[in-house]
Amino acid sequence: MVEYFQETAITDYFKPLDQQAEEVVKMQLKGDEKRKDEMMEAMQKQALLEMAQAEKQKNMQMLNTNKHVQEKTSTETLNQK
């Protein structure tokens, strides 16, 4: 019976500390969650930028290829005359 009261007294004594520790952990988890969300958003933006850059490069290559073909065709046409 004495052990029960001692255990209860110890539990009651540390209860405020446990609550404070729990609050600290919750705040840290919220901070971690916020940082994770910010990192995900930054990674998504970076991926979109990279995709846009790749699309731009592809379009430039296609324009250069078309220009080269047109120049070659024009040169061949002039040479045939």
Q: What pTM was estimated for this model as a whole?
A: 0.58
Q: pLDDT grade, residue 71 (50/70/90)?
A: confident
Q: Three-state SS for 81?
A: coil
Structurally, how many domains does the chain consist of? 1
The 10s digit of each residue's pLDDT in 32-58 is: 999 999 999 999 999 999 999 999 999
Residue 61 lies in a domain: yes
CA distance 12 to 67: 82
Residue 63 lies in a domain: yes
CA distance 74 to 6: 99
Residue 68 lies in a domain: yes
